[in-house]
Chains A and B, each alone.
Chain A
Amino acid sequence: MLDESNKCLSAVKLTKVFGMGRQKCVAVDHVDFDLCTSEVVSIVGESGSGKTTLAKMLLGLINPTEGEVYFQGKKRDIRTQRKKREYWKNIQAIFQDPYCSYNIFNKIDTVLLDCIYMRGGRTLPWAKKVELMAEACSFVNLKFEELTNKYPFELSGGQMQRLMIARIFLLKPKILLADEPTSMIDACSRATILDMLMRLRKETGMTIIFITHDIGLAYYVSDTVYIMERGKFVEYGCADDVILNPRHAYTRRLINDVPKIHEAWDLSTV
């Protein structure tokens, strides 16, 4: 099933080294993977395992020390700012902390308008723009009329994260990278946000990369799960295989550490 035309994003020997000499720290260590179009992938690992560094490299926010990223079969070229912008039309991200993800000086309609401009909608009539923004807001159960003239800090964490999804809805990127999108919000809003992301994927067929430390969440949303330990993938495969029959000791430990409700939680193993 993994032929060349279906490949959406792939990494070959991706490596990032921070520092040098004695303080050298290999954050991501020769990572290879291939993503298919409209697949949902999770990258799971503890804090400090290099998940976020990998995400930043995929987004082009930091340069890899070694290795290449291929986007739709071609080598990714982001050497100039213009090319970077072109690349970011295809890949977008939702970050962990919604409070830090917005420009605090921009009102919410500006946030959404920027997305329309980025899709080349600068010349649309105003009524059409409003219609698009309202559609995006209603997709995430927010009311556009209440949001105009508000600043992002006037919203709650869950609402901000939903607004982030509304942005993605307008931008329609090919790949969405969600870096711990639900770790700062409560369990009830988490269900809402996961539900919206899944609906988004169904409607637009985008590829979603989840980065999380919550293995339950990874199991719930994804088709393929990659387990990351100290910058390397130690186990990957179909979600059912990895979670229900873990082979690597690290995966087993991660699964053991999550509190469960139908099975006993063994506290003696830490």
Chain B
Amino acid sequence: MNNVMLDVREITTKYITRFKEDVYAVDHVSLKVEEGKSLGIAGESGCGKSTLALSLMGYYFAPLHYTSGEIIIDGRKITGMDPDDIRKSILGTEIAYIPQGAMNSLNPTQKVIHFVEDVFQAHDPYKTKKEIYEFAREAFETLGLPAEVLQKYPVELSGGMKQRTVIAVSVLLFPKVLIADEPSSALDVTSQKMVIKMLKNLMENGFIKSMIFITHELPLLFNVTDDIMVMYAGQIVEKANAKEAVFDPLHPYSKGLMGSIIVPESGLREVKLAAIPGVPPNLKNPPCGCRFAERCRYALPECPAIAPGIREIEGSRAYRCILSEKELREVYIKETLIREACQNAG
């Protein structure tokens, strides 16, 4: 077994709104990322994906608050540490985070090199500017970015270039875990591909040791990550490797998500897109039973009352449903048969 880079045990975090209500946006989430592996997190908007990313850094600021659970990065427990220590010795060097719309975080009045100098000097005040420049230039070239970028202002760069610059800067201190939150959602397909290629490069060139990738685009996750975790209403509903998660999903929610995939391949036009009706529940007062019950097509009468635990099955898969794997598969097969019969009849 490989080295576990990031080990998260039952982490729970909450938002406290200005009306003093608790919103548990991440609820008992456990995950493990091994060295050299990448984990994808999928789910609708408002399912807690981005909050999970924020929670994993161990550095909390209002309105996000830590409640319980442990985060262990490469054998070092970071929950319970002093926030100042975390900022100095964890962020950037152990764990790096690329937020949504990262390209807007470049300061428009400064050249990119100033941003790089800031990053280095926060961690090592004795490094000279020349050393930093040489180091950054080399790193940029390894990652396929022209070194001139360093001497430019952000307005001179295109959207895709800005995004790649931010990613490159965020890994200059060789973090062990990189969390990328929708790094390509604002870009067009060609820039997106360049960003993805760069993220893959990072892993191969040893800039990072493991990656967590968050997006709602399933075809992208399938191509980028080794494992996929599906989140719904702050909880994990399914964990599987990428292939199984896309082609053989077990949880009804994952099944619904896979029904909304659009790719330019032959046969797409015959497929009817199946959207999941309704919206995710309000987490201020989450349903007491299964959180997906009211939108689930296969819900049983007892579903809204019983909160199912996570079931581990063979092949390191896991899902959260009261039905067993065999029962779920039977339900799906029955549904396919009925649909085919309808098609033949009508």
CB distance from B158 to the nearest CB of A (A): 9
Cβ distance B238 to chain A, nearest Cβ, rounded Å: 15
A255 to B200, CA, bound (A): 20
**A258, B223: Cβ atoms under 8 Å?**
no
Q: Would you call A46 and B190 a contact (CB within 8 A)? A: yes
Bitwise, A128-152 to B at CB < 8 A (1) or not (0) is: 0000000000000100000000000
Which residues of chain A are within 8 angstroms of B46 by Cβ–Cβ distance? 156
Listed stretches B68-76, B265-273, B330-338; interface member: B265-273
Interface residues of B in 206-235 (CB under 8 A from A): 216-220, 222-224
Specify which of B192, B263, B265 is in contact with A257 (CB 8 Å cutoff).
B192
Q: Say yes or no: is A189 at the interface (Cβ < 8 Å to chain B).
A: yes
A258 adjacent to B264 (CB under 8 Å): yes
Partner of A254, one of B189, B217, B275: B189
For B22, the chain A residues whose CB sits under 8 A away are none
B194 contacts the other chain (CB 8 A): yes
B193 lies within 8 A of chain A by Cβ: yes
| A187 in contact with B257 (CB, 8 Å) | yes
Count B interface residues, CB 8 Å. Answer: 42
Which of A6-14, A165-173, A213-221 touches B? Answer: A213-221
> Contact: A260 with B197, CB < 8 Å?
no
Return chain A residues, CB-CB under 8 Å to B263: 216, 258-262
Residue A195 is within 8 A (CB to CB) of chain B in the complex: yes
Q: Which residues between 221 and 270 of chain A lie within 8 Å of chain B, taking CB atoms?
A: 239-240, 243-244, 253-255, 257-263, 265, 267, 270
Nearest residue in A to B218 (C-beta to C-beta)? A187
Residue A190, interface by CB 8 Å: yes
Across the interface, which residues of A come within 8 angstroms of B261, CB to CB? Answer: 187, 261
Task: Decide: B246 and A188 in contact? CB cutoff 8 A.
Answer: no
Question: A191 on the interface (CB 8 Å rule)?
Answer: yes
CB of A26 within 8 A of chain B?
no
The answer to whether B264 and A186 have CB atoms under 8 Å apart is: no
Alpha-carbon separation in the docked complex, A35 to B188 (Å)? 26
CA distance A188 to B276 in the complex (A): 7
Q: List 22 A-B contacts (CB under 8 A).
A: A46-B190, A47-B191, A157-B45, A187-B257, A188-B44, A188-B256, A188-B276, A189-B45, A190-B260, A191-B260, A216-B264, A220-B273, A240-B269, A244-B266, A253-B190, A255-B264, A257-B190, A258-B264, A261-B218, A261-B222, A261-B246, A261-B263
B residues with a Cβ closer than 8 A to A are: 44-46, 159, 188-194, 196-197, 200, 216-220, 222-224, 246-247, 256-257, 259-266, 268-269, 273-277, 279
